[in-house]
Structure 1
Amino acid sequence: MTTASPREPLSGPPAEPAGRVLRLLEAMRFVATGLEPHSTLDRICETAADLTGARYAAIGVIAEDGEGLSDFVYRGVDEATVRRIGRRPDGRKGLLGALIRDPEPVRLADLATDPRSCGFPAHHPPMSSFLGVPIRVHGAVFGNLYLTEKQGGGPFHDHDLDVVRVLAVEAGIAVGNARLYEAARQRERWIDGSVAVTTALLSGGDADDALQVVAEQARRLAGSAVGAVLLPADEGGLEIVAVASRPPSALLGVVVPPDNRVVAELLDGQEVFVDDAATDPRLSTGFVRGYGPTMMLPLKSDGRVLGALVTPRARGERPFTRTERTRAAGFAAQAALALMMAEAQRDRERLAVYEDRERIARDLHDLVVQRLFAAGAMLERARRGSVVPEVRERVGRAAVELDVTIQEIRSVVFALRQDLGTAASGLRTRVLREINTAAVPLGFRPAHRFVGEVDELVGDLTGTNLVAALREALSNAFRHAGASRIDVVVDATVTLPDGRPGVRLTVADDGVGIPEGGRRSGLRNLARRAESLGGGSRYGPGTGPGGRGTTLVWEAPY
């Protein structure tokens, strides 16, 4: 006896019992092959249609909340017809809804005569005979298997119902195995994604690149259209600091305002899940407004909310399942923990730098400066004890240079003891930036010296005006003086004529200065700046070689 393939349609009268058993066993083997959930459902539809001679077969997967269908796998209807129908059954009404509410086998000779039927939408193919059987996975109803339009006409037979019942049991086992396998695969992917995020955040690389990894992994793992990381903005609300999308979007830098209802919930540490962002009233504003199902998760660790992770899907896509939500929340918690660990690591590295800078500053002050003071004292005694004028002059110049060196070392000590963030935007840095910029047109780098705690003492307004005065002086030296040397001194230890403490900028060169009749509007502007602050400015001949040179002195209170 030969056994027909389960994919060959069965028509005519029922086969002999032995043949039906063999075909059913072969069908069960065919259903059990493979572990991908969707392909497993497709094989069940194909096998059930072959065994019963049904023209159409479908499986409706019941949603997690038990209301309607979350997925609908079909066989027998071509894609062109599906597009004309426009929408798939949602299982909330009609016979499909009745089977969800009462999961028992149903066999009908004519669908149209059943009072539970609500008819078909336009372009739907005609269907009369019907057979529906629930599929249970681990004791719970997973969905229903629907068969319609038995080939050859007439209703489905009792043996069709018996075969489909047995097949439904095997289908439940196959679906359960496929779901377990898929759950294991998803769990592995989420774990791998968490490891990638943790590695990126703790690698010590660029923080923006690490946050981009978080966004990309979240988008990939959640199967969403966009993955976005948001951190608290300076002006309130949440700012998108990393975004991953296909195609790329221009969302980077967008700030979701603090009056957005969801922002308050996220900053309060609450998870927000939305089935349709386009219609949810809480999302009347925000970048997810044009999307569909959306997960918005706080990046929270140890009670502290660091930001948020947002993964919206395109409109019309299926909502996130309970399992996906749970795993995404775990991923967000892991990312938040990695963020905190990375922040702590950067703090430790910064502290190590501070400690090293403090040690260097202490050594310079306690060892080098003290020895230079002692050397200066010895030079001064040698100068007073010398009877040779030339020797006395040279020793005196050496003592002066030593004093200048001591002041420069003290300036370095002050700089080393500064906070790195303050130093990056402090007056010292701004002065050095102007000097380096002027070095290009001048062809040489002006010498510079700082006296006193420049960054700590000089306020923002005075510092801004001092930098403007320096820029004007260096510009004059380039355009008019023809200088080969320029000395810049910023002294924060001076006492102004009225007794107030202040800062003095001295720019001396060995050039010829501004010629008689030349424009002096810049100098007058600097003088007005100084006077508005309660200080003053003067420009005149210097003491360069051969009597050459000019000097700008600009001073103002702190």
Structure 2
Amino acid sequence: MDVPESKDPLEAATRAATSLEGLSAETAARVPQLLEAMCSVGSGLGQHSTLDRICETAAELAGARYAAIGVLDEEGEGLSDFVTYGTDEEVARRIGRRPDGRSGLLGALIRAPDPIRLTDLTTDPRAAGFPPGHPPMRTFLGVPIRVRDRTIGNFYLAEKAGGGEFNDSDLRLLRVLATEAGVAIGNARLYEAARQRERWIDGSVAITTALLSGGDADDALSVVAEQARRLSDSAMGAVMLRARSGGLEAVAVSADHPVMRVGSLVPAEAPAAAALLAGESVFVDDAATDPRLVTRLASEFGPVMLLPLRTDGRVLGALVMPRARGARPFSQRERTLARQFASQAALALMMAEAQRDRERLAVLEDRDRIARDLHDLVIQRLFATGMTLERAQRGEVAPEVHHGIDKAVAELDVTIQEIRTAIFALQQGPAEAPPGMCTRVLREINMAAVPLGFRPAHRFVGPVDSIGELAGKNLIAALREALSNAFRHAHATRIEVVVDSTVRLPDGRHAVRLSVADDGVGIPEGGRRSGLRNLKRRAESLGGSSRCEQGIGEDGRGTTVVWEVPL
């Protein structure tokens, strides 16, 4: 029986219900329930809650003890959702994992979408048996759920009440409900697809803004990792860039319990890394069994998407998005949206890199101009002044004047040498003369002194300059964040910065600890929250921690931010 489509759910339900002929008196008396369930399709309920209601009504109208609706995945090969009626939570727990529709009677309905009515399903050769804890079932009625010419799910009834069999009236009723379930699923899928595309587009805008804002590059990459994790509904999001060794290095990780750390390396010869570096996407349904994933982390995850960050024929790195073990595989739509997201991220990365190159070039050009001015103008004037003083010395002057002129000329010579040293330093690239950690900390403190109106005190404990590059880079970013928070929110009059590289963690590892204490107003509601989260996230990505303690102000006022990571 074909039910005419209608935009009005009440009209469609009325036509479908009145077309049911040969209903028993008991079933006909419950037609209002059928109308109510069918009208709920247009009531604004979500797909799952609507199917729950239709499932329950079908079981009651047909006198079935159990009912279920299986929704096919986008590929039409298995079930992406399975709504049941008649089994409580305890029974569901004993059964364990819900069916995937790839075998048994459920698989038969997917492969050949025609109604199936059985008096004893246990004798049917297509039945695959029941898992342990499953309630016994004999009578069975299955009907495909179709939208136009496409099957998108199946309706199942089992165990007719009173030991009877499902009849033609039950079949017609289930077909009507299957039609309305198809409307609910189809509309929900269209809505969810539109919402999903909108979320991925918003995520692409967020990462483009973060990468091109000119802020901290590590924070921008963290935004990419966070968006990738959130949008793909994954357990972790990670950004990996090309390493000097030729493989891939994790530069940003977002996870509640990260099993991958910033700085983790994947060698270029690993099969997945080789594919990514060649610009190929890698999709894995089970990381623990896929031979392309050879790292020890693979056993922690189930489905994984690994996408190259590729633009203009150049591979910058990769996005890694793994789901937890047992989670559903990534659908075709999710894979397509993720590819587009990765392409946008790669383009934004390249544009940000070009922008940083332009800024770096502008700085170098300005340094060259300053060096030329110092050489051509300042040094020449100092040299001319020295020559003038030496000429004046040749006349008859008092011994003390002669001594003063000698001293002045010597000072000019020293000044000229210092300027020439400065010119040489200006002409060197930043990477040729990297400053030590103490110098970098002092630079941040001096920069913060301008907006603060005073210079924070500082103290170094241990060989601070021996701190590694990764920990050092993150420490400087944490210091910058803490000083910025103190300026914007604390209203402090005194700040003390301590960098201690002699810390020993409880597990015996060496660590570096950064403490930034102020005498301000503490942490007001809503103040410094995002900054503190950034500090904590940055520390945890390196296996460290970040916390707040009592500050240095009177009466216990103020805040001390303690940030530490292992070396």
- What's the TM-score once normalised by structure 2's chain length? 0.70
Residue 53 of structure 1 deviates from its aligned partner by 2.2
Q: 1:40 to 1:270 in 2, by over 3 A?
A: farther
Other-structure match for 1:359:
369
Distance 1:92 1:150 in 2: 25
Of 164, 168, 171, the residue aligned with 2:178 is: 168
Does residue 128 of the first structure (1) align with residue 128 of the second (2)?
no
Whether the 8 Å CA contact 2:113–2:144 is kept in 1: the answer is: yes
Residues 15-24 or 286-295, more deviating: 15-24
Whether the 8 Å CA contact 2:239–2:319 is kept in 1: the answer is: yes
- The aligned runs of 1:110-189 (5 Å cut-off) are 110-189=120-199
Residue 325 of structure 1 deviates from its aligned partner by 0.7
- What is the root-mean-square deviation in Å for CA atoms of aligned residues? 2.7
Residues 17-26 or 106-115, more deviating: 17-26
Other-structure match for 2:97:
87
Q: Which runs of 5+ in 1 are unaligned?
A: 1-12, 434-439, 442-558
Other-structure match for 1:393:
403
Residue 250 of structure 1 deviates from its aligned partner by 5.2
Other-structure match for 2:303:
293
Whether the 8 Å CA contact 1:283–1:289 is kept in 2: the answer is: no
Whether the 8 Å CA contact 1:35–1:177 is kept in 2: the answer is: no
Does residue 377 of the first structure (1) align with residue 387 of the second (2)?
yes
Other-structure match for 2:527:
none
User: What is the DSSP-based 3-state SS (H/G/I as helix, E as strand, rest coil) of the residue aligned with 1:296?
Assistant: strand
Residue 175 of structure 1 deviates from its aligned partner by 0.8
Distance 2:97 2:87 in 1: 13
Other-structure match for 2:420:
410
Other-structure match for 1:279:
289
Q: 1:90 to 1:185 in 2, by over 3 A?
A: same
Question: Which deviations, in whole Å up to 9, do the C-alpha atoms of 1:64-85 show, x marking residues without a partner?
Answer: 4443333322111122222222
Whether the 8 Å CA contact 1:150–1:156 is kept in 2: the answer is: yes
Residue 48 of structure 1 deviates from its aligned partner by 1.9
Distance 1:232 1:25 in 2: 61
User: What is the DSSP-based 3-state SS (H/G/I as helix, E as strand, rest coil) of the residue aligned with 1:128?
Assistant: coil
Other-structure match for 1:484:
none
Of 12, 28, 32, the residue aligned with 2:38 is: 28
Other-structure match for 1:334:
344
Distance 1:182 1:65 in 2: 16
Report the residue type matching 2:318 in the other structure: A
Q: 1:245 to 1:319 in 2, by over 3 A?
A: same
Q: 1:75 to 1:403 in 2, by over 3 A?
A: same
Distance 1:153 1:29 in 2: 31
User: What is the DSSP-based 3-state SS (H/G/I as helix, E as strand, rest coil) of the residue aligned with 1:367?
Assistant: helix
Whether the 8 Å CA contact 2:236–2:258 is kept in 1: the answer is: no
Question: Which deviations, in whole Å up to 9, do the C-alpha atoms of 1:302-361 show, x marking residues without a partner?
Answer: 111111111111111110000111111111111111111211121121112112111111
Residue 399 of structure 1 deviates from its aligned partner by 1.9
Other-structure match for 2:280:
270
Q: 1:251 to 1:41 in 2, by over 3 A?
A: farther
Question: Which deviations, in whole Å up to 9, do the C-alpha atoms of 1:436-486 show, x marking residues without a partner?
Answer: xxxx99xxxxxxxxxxxxxxxxxxxxxxxxxxxxxxxxxxxxxxxxxxxxx
Other-structure match for 2:242:
232
Whether the 8 Å CA contact 2:40–2:50 is kept in 1: the answer is: no
Whether the 8 Å CA contact 1:32–1:171 is kept in 2: the answer is: no
Residue 238 of structure 1 deviates from its aligned partner by 1.3
Of 46, 66, 71, the residue aligned with 1:61 is: 71
Residue 290 of structure 1 deviates from its aligned partner by 2.5
Other-structure match for 1:215:
225
Distance 2:87 2:433 in 1: 71
Other-structure match for 2:557:
none
Whether the 8 Å CA contact 1:228–1:243 is kept in 2: the answer is: yes
Residues 117-126 or 295-304, more deviating: 117-126
Whether the 8 Å CA contact 2:281–2:308 is kept in 1: the answer is: yes
User: Bigger radius of gyration, 1 or 2?
Assistant: 1
Q: 1:118 to 1:90 in 2, by over 3 A?
A: same
Report the residue type matching 2:124 in the other structure: D
Other-structure match for 2:431:
421
Report the residue type matching 1:38 in the other structure: H
Whether the 8 Å CA contact 1:135–1:171 is kept in 2: the answer is: yes
Of 145, 168, 191, the residue aligned with 2:201 is: 191
Report the residue type matching 1:144 in the other structure: N
Q: 1:119 to 1:286 in 2, by over 3 A?
A: closer
Report the residue type matching 2:264 in the other structure: V
Question: Which deviations, in whole Å up to 9, do the C-alpha atoms of 1:405-453 show, x marking residues without a partner?
Answer: 2222222222212212213259xx99x99xxxxxx99xxxxxxxxxxxx
Residue 266 of structure 1 deviates from its aligned partner by 0.4
How many residues align structurally? 422
Residue 138 of structure 1 deviates from its aligned partner by 4.5
Distance 1:379 1:222 in 2: 75
Whether the 8 Å CA contact 2:238–2:254 is kept in 1: the answer is: yes
Q: 1:86 to 1:18 in 2, by over 3 A?
A: closer
Other-structure match for 1:453:
none
Residue 171 of structure 1 deviates from its aligned partner by 1.3
Residues 384-393 or 145-154, more deviating: 384-393
Other-structure match for 1:245:
255
Question: Which deviations, in whole Å up to 9, do the C-alpha atoms of 1:23-48 show, x marking residues without a partner?
Answer: 43222102333353333332332232
Residue 191 of structure 1 deviates from its aligned partner by 1.6
Residue 379 of structure 1 deviates from its aligned partner by 1.1
Report the residue type matching 1:280 in the other structure: D
Residues 55-64 or 220-229, more deviating: 55-64
Q: Which runs of 5+ in 2 are unaligned?
A: 1-22, 444-457, 460-567
Residues 76-85 or 281-290, more deviating: 281-290
Other-structure match for 1:77:
87
Distance 1:95 1:29 in 2: 30
Question: Which deviations, in whole Å up to 9, do the C-alpha atoms of 1:480-504 show, x marking residues without a partner?
Answer: xxxxxxxxxxxxxxxxxxxxxxxxx
Of 119, 122, 127, the residue aligned with 1:109 is: 119
Q: 1:149 to 1:170 in 2, by over 3 A?
A: same
